[in-house]
Structure 1
Amino acid sequence: MQLQITLSTLLLSFLLTSPTAFTSGAQSKPQDLVRSSCVHARYPRLCLRTLSHYPGPENTPLDLARAALRVSLAHTRRASKFLHALSKGGAAAMSKRQRSALRDCTEQISDSLDQLRRSLDELQHLRSETFRWQMSNAQTWVSAALTDGDTCLDGFAGNARPDVKRRVTDVAKVTSNALYMINRLGQSRTGKAMSKAKPKPRPRPRPIISQN
């Protein structure tokens, strides 16, 4: 009897003091959503790594699409700052063609940044009545951001500096994953984050009036 009381006391103490005892079940659901969503992304490992450490909510497909866009924005912003700094201080050793390609690339990545911002803003203000139109806008802008990255590297004709190529390729990968999440959200029609419409009340059956 004394042993049973001791074990019960220890178990109760663990449940009251452990910070994960009551949260592990709640945390597993968002992580399961991230895994099941990233598995079919173009870059699944990168998707899982970036979204698993994302600090915001990830409870719905809409949350994931927004998170993926924010990740893409952060990577693109860093690449844009790097290219601007390089064009000012590190372009002297480049050929005239490479300097021209770098200027074009800097502008294109800046355009990508603007398009990603517009896409995120669209997802922040989704409405049921304009959902399809807004999703189409977001898909178009993120696709354009991807094209800008490809055009940037094409301008170097295969002679891009390794650090430029690495950063622009990284942006392309996270942006591709963001586009996948947006497309996946669009297929859901509502994204699960929209408020569900209240079911219409069923009409009451009319009473049968006897003809006798």
Structure 2
Amino acid sequence: MQHHHPLTLTLTTLFIFLLFTFSSSHEDLIHSSCLHARYPTLCLRTLSNYSGPADTPLDVARAALRVSLAHARRASHYLHTSNGGASSTSSSKRQRAALSDCAELVADSVEELRKSLEELQHLRPETFRWQMSNAMTWVSAALTDGDTCLDGGSVRLDVKRRVTDLAMVTSNALYMINRLGQGGPGKPVPHSRPGLSVKN
């Protein structure tokens, strides 16, 4: 029969307790962060599946931005390859023009979201407000680009679906950044880990 030293049992119990507490805190933070987002169910689904750090409000804002950037890159790739999945013979001239405009706008969104994420990865206490303002401006611009694409007319259903999906995750990301900005600078770590409003 194997005997365990009492200290070993105590340390094991403590480790399990801390692991459970960490996991619960992680889930609680994601839940509380998503609760009042514009698309809470989507927010919970995308951030719960996020594999990177999400242990502080700053982590959650970065995670939301990374999700949005990933969606933007996928949409941009879709729009730039194979004419967005349709042959030129099956698309009207107007649809092809709308697709070209959307492709350019989504490419702009990729760059704007990338710049916003870069800003959040290099926050400094002395420039926190200015950097948060920059991040919100760029994400807002990405939302405007999505609106402009959808307002262009003759937008195919497959394109509309992808741009709307991008708009929803980007709207959630903007909420997270705004929420972080309202919380004040707190203690942003200078060298911490890197990692479309939808019309009703």
TM-score bucket (shorter structure): 0.7 to 0.9
Q: What's the counterpart of residue 111 of structure 1?
A: 108
CA distance in 2, matches of 1:123, 1:21: 32
How many residue pairs align between the two structures?
182
1:156-181 per-position Cα deviation (integer Å, ceiling 9, x unaligned) = 25xx2221111110000000000000
Letter of the 1:193 partner, please give it: P
Aligned counterpart in structure 2 of residue 59 of structure 1, from 47, 55, 62: 55
CA distance in 2, matches of 1:128, 1:156: 44
Q: What's the counterpart of residue 136 of structure 2?
A: 139
Q: Which runs of 5+ in 1 are unaligned?
A: 1-7, 196-212
CA distance in 1, matches of 2:87, 2:178: 38
CA distance in 2, matches of 1:22, 1:33: 16
Shift of 1:188: 1.0
Q: Which runs of 5+ in 2 are unaligned?
A: 191-200
CA distance in 1, matches of 2:87, 2:152: 15
Q: Secondary structure at the match of 1:27?
A: helix
Structure of higher CA gyration radius = 1
Q: Where do 1:25-64 residues align within 5 Å? A: 25-64=21-60
Answer yes or no: is 1:190 the counterpart of 2:185: yes
Shift of 1:144: 0.3
Answer yes or no: is 1:74 the counterpart of 2:70: yes
Shift of 1:81: 0.6
Are the equivalent residues in 1 in contact too, given 2:109–2:141 (CA < 8 A)? yes
Are the equivalent residues in 2 in contact too, given 1:127–1:194 (CA < 8 A)? yes
Larger displacement relative to structure 2 (90-99 or 27-36): 90-99
Letter of the 1:23 partner, please give it: L
RMSD: 2.3
Are the equivalent residues in 2 in contact too, given 1:138–1:182 (CA < 8 A)? yes
Q: What's the counterpart of residue 198 of structure 1?
A: none
Are the equivalent residues in 2 in contact too, given 1:34–1:52 (CA < 8 A)? yes
Answer yes or no: is 1:122 the counterpart of 2:119: yes
Letter of the 1:179 partner, please give it: L
1:75-123 per-position Cα deviation (integer Å, ceiling 9, x unaligned) = 1111111111142762411111111110000000000000000000000
Are the equivalent residues in 2 in contact too, given 1:62–1:191 (CA < 8 A)? no
Larger displacement relative to structure 2 (174-183 or 161-170): 161-170
Answer yes or no: is 1:181 the counterpart of 2:186: no
Letter of the 2:63 partner, please give it: A
Are the equivalent residues in 1 in contact too, given 2:72–2:110 (CA < 8 A)? yes
Are the equivalent residues in 2 in contact too, given 1:91–1:99 (CA < 8 A)? no
Larger displacement relative to structure 2 (87-96 or 53-62): 87-96
